[in-house]
Structure 1
Amino acid sequence: MSALFTPLKLGSVTIPNRIGMSALTRNRSSATVPNELMREYYTQRSTGGAGLIVTEGALITRQGTEWTDAPGIWEQSQVEGWKKIVDSVHVAGTKIYCQLWHLGRSSHPEAPEQIAAGVPVYAPSAISARGGKFRFLPGAPGYVTPTEIEDPTVLIALFKQAAINAKAAGFDGVELHGANGYLVHQFLDSTSNKRTDKWGGSAENRARFAIETLKALIEVWGPDVALRISPAGGYNDMGMPLAETTATFGYLLREVSKLGLSYVALVRYSPMFDLEYDGKKRATQHDVVASLSPFISGPALFVNAGVTPAEAEELVGSGKAAGVFFGIPYMTHPDLGRRVKAGKPLDNAPDFATFYTPGADPKLGYTDYKEAVY
C-alpha cells in the first residue's frame, strides 16, 4: 500500500496520506450543536490513520431535514462546538474539511427547525421530489412541493457566511455538498430545475449556482475549497439521461477546474443511492470516473463509493486518482487507516440500525466499534 501512504498537497495544506473519511450523516449532535460525543467520534478516526476527514453535512441555515440532530454551522454555539472537534482532530496530524449542506426541496415545512427558521422550503423550482420519509412527523410524510427561490444569490450568501464560520472554527477547508439530490444538485439536474432565467435551462445556466457558490467560498478560503458531486446517483429523485448527464457535469468540471479548487470528489454509482420510483430505478448508471475525469484539470481527483483498500491502492498508484474516500467502512472501523497500512482486515460487522437512528445510548454503533490488535 505504498501509494496510499504518501503525502498529498491539497490547497494550502498537506495531508499525510491519500485516505479520506467521507462525509457521513450520523445524527448525534445536541439538536444542531456539535457535542462531546461527536468530538470522541471524529478523534477516534483521526488517531486511526485518516489523512483527511470531511465532516458530516453541516447545515448552513435552519432546515426541516429528515434527519433530526444534524449539526449546523450558522451560529456561534455551533462554531464553538466544531472548534473543539477540529482542535482534537489536529492533535493526530489529520486535516479536516467542513462539508457545507443545504437540503433544498428535501426539507419539510412542518419540521421543528423549518418552523423555527420562519421561511418556506426553498428549491430551484416548485417541483416535489418523490419519496422521502420524515419519521419524526405524524404519519411519516414524504417530500412536499417547495417554493421556487426568487433570487438564488440569497442562498449563496448563506453558503459564504457558513464558510466564514467554518474558518472561525479552525477547519482546514470546506467542501461544497453538490451531491445526493440536495440543493446544489437540484440546480444541476434538469428534472428538478425548470427555471427559464439565467439559473436554468442550458447546462451552463444550471451549473451557474454551483460555480457562483464555489466562487463565494473561494473569497473566504482561497484554494482550500472542494466540491463533491454524484453524477450517477438517483437519491432524492435525481437522474438525467446519460448524454445530458455527461454534458452537464462535464461543463461543470471544466469550469470549476479554472477556479483553483483543492479537490473534486466523484461519487461513483452505488446501489444504496439508486432508489426506485414508480417501479423504475432512478440513477444514471455509468462509469463516472472514466467519463468525467478527463474534464478535471487542476483539482486533485478523489474517488468515493464502494472503494476497497486494494482498489484504492490501484487507483492512486496508477494515477487515476489522487486519493480515495471511504464511507461506511469508516463508520465501522475507527482505525481504518491503520488497518489498511498494516494489512488488517476490515471485519467489523456494520449495525445498520444505528447508522442514522440512535437508540437510547447514542454511543452504540457510533463510538463503540473495536480497533484491531496491532
Structure 2
Amino acid sequence: MSTNTSQEVDLFSPYTFGPLQMRNRIVMAPLTRSRAEKGNVPSSMAVTYYRQRATAGLIITEATQASAGGQGYISTPGVHSQEQVQRWKEITDAVHEEGGLIFVQLWHVGRISHPVFRNGQQPVAPSPIAPRGVQTYTTDGFQDIPAPRALETSEIPGIVEEFRQAALNAKAAGFDGAEIHGANGYLLDQFLEDGTNQRTDQYGGSVENRARLLFEVIAAVGSVWDSDRVGVRLSPGGSFNDMCDSHPQQTFSHVVQRLADLNLAYLHLVEPPPSQGEHPVPDLSARYFRQFYPGTIIVAGGYTLERGNQVLREGFADLVAFGQLFIANPDLVERFRRNAPFNPPDRDSFYGGTDKGYVDYPALPASGA
C-alpha cells in the first residue's frame, strides 16, 4: 500500500513498497533503445547504460520479450534464452552494485509486429484488425504492419505460460521484480480495449472478459514472484498504435479496482496528453484513478521536476517516471537536486546504433569540483 503522502513529500523523499526501499521517488521509465545483439541478447553496452542511471529510485527496463514470438521491433531484448538471462544478470548486478533497484518490463507486442520477426508468420492479436497508419522498423527499414491473425482460444494458455516462464527467467537474472506491460497498444492492451477486441469467446465482449488475459498473466507472473514484486503498466485513453476504447473510463476503472485487491508492487499509469486520442477523452489521469487504487501509483507522461513534486504533494501518485530526460541525462537525479541544466537529447540515436547517444552523455562534475 501507499506510504506517506503529505506536503513534505517530494521526489527526493525515500519510499518503501513491499519489501523494497527506494532512496528517492524518481523512476526511470521503460525506454526502447533497439540495441540488442544477435539473438536479442542485451548488448554489453547495456551494462554501462543501466549502471549510469542506477541513482534512480527504481529502474524499469526497456520492454523485453517474454518469448521470441512477442517481438515487434528490431534489436529489442528478450528474457527467454539462457544467453539473454546471463547478460541481464550482468546488468542487474551492475545496478545493485550502485545501490539501485531494477524491474524487468515483460511484453508481447501482439499485432504490432511483422512476419520478418515471426519466421514468416502473421502477427497475432485478439481480432484480425490491422493498426491504421502504423509501421515497424525492420532490417529492411520501415514496413507497414499487416492485418494480424486472431489467436485461437486454445492458444491463449500458451501465451500465459510464456509470461510465467519469462518471470522465472527474470528471477534467475537477479531482477528485483517484474512489470507487466499492459499499455501502449500491445497484446494485453489489445485484448483489454474494445477498439481492437471483437472476440465472442470468453476473452471478448464484456470488460470482465476483455480483461481476462491481463489477469491470467498477472496470476502467472505472481506464481513466480510475490505479488508485491509485480507491477502493471496501463495507458488509459492512449491512442498510440491506433488504440481506442468506446468507454475508457469504465473499462479502466474496472481494471484498476480489481488490481487494487491484488497487493501489487505498483500500478504504473501512462497519462494521455490532452492532444491525444481520436475520441473524446474523459479524465483518465492518476487524479481520477486514485479513488480506486490506494496502493502505490507510478505516473508517467512528460513530467517535469515541478509537476512531479506537485502530483506527489497532491497525493495522486507516489512515484514519478521520467523517460526522455533519462536518455540524455544519466545523472538526472543529481541534475534535479542541483537544478542544473539538462543535456540536449540526440533524437537520431534514440533507436539503434552504437555507444553514441547511449552511454556517452556527460555527467555533471562532482559537487564542489
TM-score by length of structure 2 reads: 0.91
1:366 and 2:358 are equivalent in the alignment: yes
User: What residue in structure 2 maps to residue 230 of structure 1?
Assistant: 235
The C-alpha deviation readout for 1:224-243, integer Å capped at 9, x for no partner, is 000011112111110123xx
User: What residue in structure 2 maps to residue 39 of structure 1?
Assistant: 47
3-state SS of paired residue (2:111):
helix
Match of 1:129 among 128, 131, 135: 131
Distance in 2 between the 1:257 and 1:167 partners?
A: 24
| Residue identity in the other structure for 1:91 | E
Structure 1 residue 270, shift from structure 2 partner: 3.6
Pairs within 5 Å for 1:1-374: 3-31=10-38, 32-46=40-54, 49-63=55-69, 65-109=71-115, 111=116, 113-115=117-119, 120-136=122-138, 138=140, 140-150=142-152, 151=154, 152-222=156-226, 223-241=228-246, 244-270=247-273, 274=276, 281=278, 284=281, 286-297=283-294, 299-345=295-341, 347-358=342-353, 362-373=354-365, 374=367
- Please identify, of 123-132 and 50-59, the stretch whose mean Cα deviation from structure 2 is larger: 123-132
CA contact (8 A) 1:19 1:323 kept: yes
Distance in 1 between the 2:330 and 2:258 partners?
A: 36
- Please identify, of 61-70 and 50-59, the stretch whose mean Cα deviation from structure 2 is larger: 61-70
Structure 1 residue 137, shift from structure 2 partner: 5.5
Task: Mark the runs of 5 or more structure 1 residues left unpaired by the alignment.
Answer: 276-280
3-state SS of paired residue (1:247):
helix
| Residue identity in the other structure for 2:217 | T
| Residue identity in the other structure for 2:144 | G
Structure 1 residue 28, shift from structure 2 partner: 1.1
Distance in 1 between the 2:27 and 2:177 partners?
A: 14
CA RMSD of aligned residues (A): 2.0
Structure 1 residue 286, shift from structure 2 partner: 4.0
Structure 1 residue 121, shift from structure 2 partner: 1.9
Structure 1 residue 50, shift from structure 2 partner: 0.4
Distance in 1 between the 2:141 and 2:41 partners?
A: 27
CA contact (8 A) 1:174 1:224 kept: yes
The C-alpha deviation readout for 1:68-101, integer Å capped at 9, x for no partner, is 1110001111000100000000011110000001
CA contact (8 A) 1:240 1:284 kept: no
| Residue identity in the other structure for 1:34 | P
Structure 1 residue 132, shift from structure 2 partner: 2.3
Distance in 1 between the 2:140 and 2:248 partners?
A: 37
- Please identify, of 135-144 and 205-214, the stretch whose mean Cα deviation from structure 2 is larger: 135-144
3-state SS of paired residue (1:134):
strand
The C-alpha deviation readout for 1:301-353, integer Å capped at 9, x for no partner, is 111011101111122233221110001101111000111122223x2111111
3-state SS of paired residue (1:144):
coil
3-state SS of paired residue (2:53):
helix
CA contact (8 A) 1:211 1:255 kept: no
Distance 1:282 1:165, change over 3 A: farther
Task: Mark the runs of 5 or more structure 2 residues left unpaired by the alignment.
Answer: 1-7
Distance in 1 between the 2:162 and 2:214 partners?
A: 13
Distance in 2 between the 1:209 and 1:365 partners?
A: 37
CA contact (8 A) 2:72 2:109 kept: no
Structure 1 residue 53, shift from structure 2 partner: 0.0
Distance 1:308 1:140, change over 3 A: closer
| Residue identity in the other structure for 1:294 | Q
User: What residue in structure 2 maps to residue 278 of structure 1?
Assistant: none
Distance in 1 between the 2:220 and 2:22 partners?
A: 24
Distance 1:87 1:290, change over 3 A: same
CA contact (8 A) 1:66 1:133 kept: no
Distance 1:93 1:154, change over 3 A: same
3-state SS of paired residue (1:104):
coil
3-state SS of paired residue (1:367):
coil
CA contact (8 A) 2:74 2:137 kept: no
Distance in 2 between the 1:245 and 1:156 partners?
A: 24
Aligned-residue sequence identity (percent) comes to 38
CA contact (8 A) 1:23 1:57 kept: yes
| Residue identity in the other structure for 1:21 | M
Distance in 2 between the 1:153 and 1:354 partners?
A: 38
Distance in 1 between the 2:93 and 2:73 partners?
A: 26
3-state SS of paired residue (1:175):
strand
Distance 1:283 1:156, change over 3 A: farther
Distance in 2 between the 1:160 and 1:283 partners?
A: 37
CA contact (8 A) 2:106 2:181 kept: yes
CA contact (8 A) 2:65 2:71 kept: no
Distance in 2 between the 1:218 and 1:65 partners?
A: 23
CA contact (8 A) 2:129 2:148 kept: yes
Distance in 2 between the 1:270 and 1:137 partners?
A: 32
Distance in 2 between the 1:137 and 1:4 partners?
A: 40
Distance 1:254 1:315, change over 3 A: same
CA contact (8 A) 1:235 1:283 kept: no
Distance in 2 between the 1:172 and 1:65 partners?
A: 23
